[in-house]
Chains A and B, each alone.
Chain A
């Protein structure tokens, strides 16, 4: 990790710790909401940005996490049992879906996951005995941590922040491990990676299932934040939104989700005046972004650096040519 990265991380951390203390309840709620999407898109960034698997079904795992915790808590079981159950459930379902879906790649995978999301959404909407159907599940309690109540928005925000930092740290460690290198190798050239002894299917499955676990954790936190869940936030549209968040932030950049989720969650609040036009502007902006910066917003520094390097190189070449000319 370079020094500049460390400085950026510290600045972001300080901002995340201090800014919400200056906000009103709704602002804190929004920040928690944003961080939850950061956790979810971190997982998607692993699947999409690092391992290169085009998953458009992330909101399904988000929903599975939320519903698992909500249903278990309604049955009187503690959040602290519900959370690991949600994580394990997402991991297992991720493996189960990945097994047939990952036989195919790119766009086929995108549509297989998209279809999976539709199926999960249909179950949430139709199985009233389990999920409450369109009425949803309300009055979800917030958990307690070591006897401290997280009912108020500020303590809950810090709890979400702590989880986000832990999940981010785990992801960072994973990406630096041989596993993480294998994921990127898989994205950049799968056939070459295979010839180097990386078991493609095992690693794609793993990247997919770990991404699903992140969504599950985010879903569990989401259920306790909004305290009322219904099928709508887990529909295909949210999956596509999460995918766009990753792409806008910069797939394969560690801090991409932070920026991407801000564009997807916080920006609509500031652009309230645009109202109905916001999504139009967002869609058009995505098209423009793809045309100008296909690697996302965080690729801007790299681009500037690449441009500077090429300018220096051409200046050096020109100087060398002049020297040669002077000699002869």
Chain B
């Protein structure tokens, strides 16, 4: 039984990182109809940026702040202006293809231009174990969970409680009415891209100590973020959190009790079940189709 709780807990911690990436995914989708296939690479790049700043002698917190600035500029602004804006009028698939191209380019650019090795990355948290009623928990797991959950909840609160956040939601629900109401739509969409970039930086900070900084670290992370987003409900930002935690926990339990070799198939099975029985996701709302 203690094993079970241990697996459950570390699953929730991993799942909360998936939730961070998944939240960025759903926000982009809601605000601009962008599906970002390079979401995993958006986590990989900040990891290398932080390593770069650290190599220049910056301590980790400073490196993180600098990386956030660069990420908002490159993964937020440049990505939106350079790729999403010109392609949006052609519908969804050209953006998907372009972001696939972007993912291939960044992944192999890092491999060819920097290194194909896995680089160690110092975590925020010291190696420390807690023992609660026989369940061993690492400080890193606790810290990751608290930070990731905190970030998801702060993002939620920002979207629901502040004027800017509500304007962003209005844009996501109906762009035209939002324009009529005097909301600066392009700016709100840009904010969404910036938040996505920031969430990716945070995910990089939390995930890299365990995954190590490697050019292909984003591949599975991006996929799982997407599965998590759909399982939770693609048009609902709370769904990302639920989906992320479900995927993280289910993976951990399946690896221990069913077969470690098929761990990566768990998210898929859950995803298939969800789209069979509740295609709009666990927390999602149905969207009527139009002719």
Contacts and interface: CB of A to CB of B under 8 A. Distances in A.
Contacts of A282: 101, 104-105
Interface stretch (A2-10, A99-107, A162-170): A99-107
Contacts of B267: 115
Contacts of A278: 108
B276 A122 contact: no
B119 to A, nearest CB: 17
Query: Binding site of B, secondary structure by majority: helix, strand, loop or mixed?
Result: helix
Interface string B211-230: 00000000000010011001
Interface stretch (B60-68, B85-93, B171-179): B85-93
B124 interface: no
Contact of B83 (A107, A118, A287, A289): A287
A249 to B, nearest CB: 12
A15 B262 CA distance: 46
Contact of B98 (A108, A192, A291): A291
Interface in A86-138: 100-101, 103-104, 106-108, 110-112, 114-116, 118-119, 122, 125-126
Given A103-B276, A119-B268, A108 B111 contact: no
A115 B268 contact: yes
A5 to B, nearest CB: 26
B87 A290 contact: yes
Given A191-B289, A244-B100, A276-B111, A112 B272 contact: yes
B279 interface: yes
B275 A126 contact: no
A5 B276 CA distance: 44
A279 interface: yes
A141 to B, nearest CB: 30
Given A103-B279, A126-B262, A291 B108 contact: no
Nearest to A291: B86
A280 B116 CA distance: 14
B94 A116 contact: no
Interface string B258-281: 010110110110011001100100
B50 interface: no
Contacts of B90: 294
Contacts of B291: 189, 191-192
Contacts of A101: 272, 275
B271 A111 contact: yes
Contact of B104 (A104, A110, A286, A291): A286
A284 B289 contact: no
A277 B108 CA distance: 7
Contact of A287 (B98, B108, B226, B230): B98
A165 to B, nearest CB: 29
A240 interface: yes
A107 B92 contact: yes
Q: How large is the interface on B (under 10, 10 to 19, 20 to 34, 35 or more residues)?
A: 35 or more
B102 interface: yes
Contacts of A291: 83, 86-87, 98
Interface string A281-297: 11111110111001000
Contacts of A51: none
A280 to B, nearest CB: 4
Interface residues of A, number: 43
A279 B108 contact: yes
Given A107-B92, A110-B96, A286-B98, A115 B279 contact: no
A119 B271 CA distance: 12
Contacts of A114: 223
A39 interface: no
B126 interface: no
A103 B264 contact: no
B97 A290 contact: yes
Given A191-B291, A277-B108, A283-B108, A106 B101 contact: no
A55 B276 CA distance: 17
A285 B109 contact: no
A54 B37 CA distance: 14
Count chain A CB atoms within 10 A of each CB in B87, B101, B103, B276 and give the residue with the most. Answer: B101
Interface in B98-128: 98, 100-109, 111-113
30 contacts: A54-B93, A103-B276, A106-B93, A108-B279, A110-B96, A111-B226, A111-B227, A112-B271, A112-B272, A115-B223, A115-B267, A118-B265, A118-B268, A122-B261, A126-B261, A189-B291, A276-B111, A276-B112, A278-B108, A279-B108, A283-B107, A283-B109, A284-B101, A286-B100, A286-B105, A287-B83, A287-B105, A290-B94, A291-B86, A291-B87
Given A103-B275, A283-B107, 11 more contacts: A111-B226, A115-B267, A243-B97, A244-B97, A277-B109, A280-B108, A280-B112, A284-B105, A285-B101, A290-B94, A290-B98
Interface of A: 54, 100-101, 103-104, 106-108, 110-112, 114-116, 118-119, 122, 125-126, 189, 191-192, 240, 243-244, 247, 275-287, 289-291, 294
